[in-house]
Homo-oligomer: A and B are copies of this chain.
Amino acid sequence: MKSPTIREIARIAECSLSTVSKAINGRADISESTRRRILKIVGDNNYTPSALGKGLKNQRTENIGVIFSKEDRPLSLNPFYSRILEGIEAELAINKYNLVLCLTVDKKTNNYPKMIRERNVDGVILISVQKEAFVNQLMDDRIPLVLVDPNSNYHNATQVVIDNEDGAFQATQYLILKGHKKIAFISPHLDRDSFRLRYAGFNKAMTHYHLSIDENYVQIEGLEHGYDQVRRLLQLKERPTAMFIANDLNVMYAYQAIRDLHLKIPEDISIVGFDDIAWSKIASPQLTTMRVYKEEMGSIAVRNLLNIISNDKASAITTILPVKLIERNSVKDLNE
């Protein structure tokens, strides 16, 4: 793009570079009349200060890096993350920052991605699971940082997390209050805080209501996507009447397994999920699940990060977002 430089604007306005700069940046020591005169010229020639020039001088790029976990295809495989990303983008746009997206952190070396090495971002948002060494190195290097839905609790980093335990409690409780006693718990694994806490919430609710947990009903390991586990579960002689599945993505596979067995939801088996992704309300039947405010996770992360950047001595805070039960059609009421 052919764009004038501040020098040309100054020439046209017959004044110095500094005067133009002051007019643009709203500095006080300039008369209102010349400011208007210059701003007019700026507009007419549609001049915008170059990011590079500004950045070099101010030591601020006005770029924020967003780094996803090492998993492949985080966005297209799980809309959960897309939604967070959209939230981040919207909030950054409001604050006039650019979003630099990085999906592929070098897996073997813990090398920083280019945008960080070359100092092309003022700070970064890390989404989901990350190598600990990577996070620690960033913190050592004093790179402004916010973690979103991290794998585990990073002592003295600013983070945005979900109230996983409470959500799981609510979900389980809901099933219990609908008269279910034989309740299964399914989670892809327990390698991450979010799933560990969802498991904890499940346990809590079960003991709180004095229900025993059949260990055959707990599937928490080595799930590819859960298809096989759900299938096996439903072929038990005494199968559960309900499942709490810690992740709507896994529910998609569960639906498939259930249909393949010619069973019906919720008549034969009730399900409560977790996340409330776009699919959940299009599914047949529509899924009762715990809504996570994904967009808010993104915008809060941004606000906290910008705060850290501008206010050098901001202390680390952890934001815990509540979660909400969305009642749809995947649970049968056994009390009726």
The chain A residues found within 8 Å of chain B, CB to CB, are 1-3, 48-56, 61-63, 66, 73, 75-77, 79, 82-83, 85-86, 89-90, 93, 96, 98-104, 113-120, 141-143, 225, 252-253, 255-256, 259-260, 277-279, 282-286, 294
A93-B104 contact given A51-B118, A52-B61, CB 8 Å threshold: yes
Cα distance, A50 to B118, chains bound together (Å): 5
Other-chain contact of A119, B50, B98, B120, B143 (Cβ < 8 Å):
B50
Q: A143–B75 contact, CB under 8 A?
A: no
Q: A256–B278 contact, CB under 8 A?
A: no
Minimum-distance CB pairs A-B, first 9: A51-B118, A259-B284, A75-B82, A76-B82, A51-B120, A76-B83, A48-B117, A52-B56, A76-B79
A260-B279 contact given A83-B76, A118-B49, A141-B2, CB 8 Å threshold: no
Cα distance, A226 to B99, chains bound together (Å): 34
Other-chain contact of A115, B79, B89, B98, B118 (Cβ < 8 Å):
B98
Chain B residue at minimum C-beta to C-beta distance from A54: B118
Chain B residue at minimum C-beta to C-beta distance from A1: B141
Cα distance, A119 to B2, chains bound together (Å): 9
- List of B residues within 8 angstroms of A117 by Cβ: 48
Q: B104–A90 contact, CB under 8 A?
A: yes
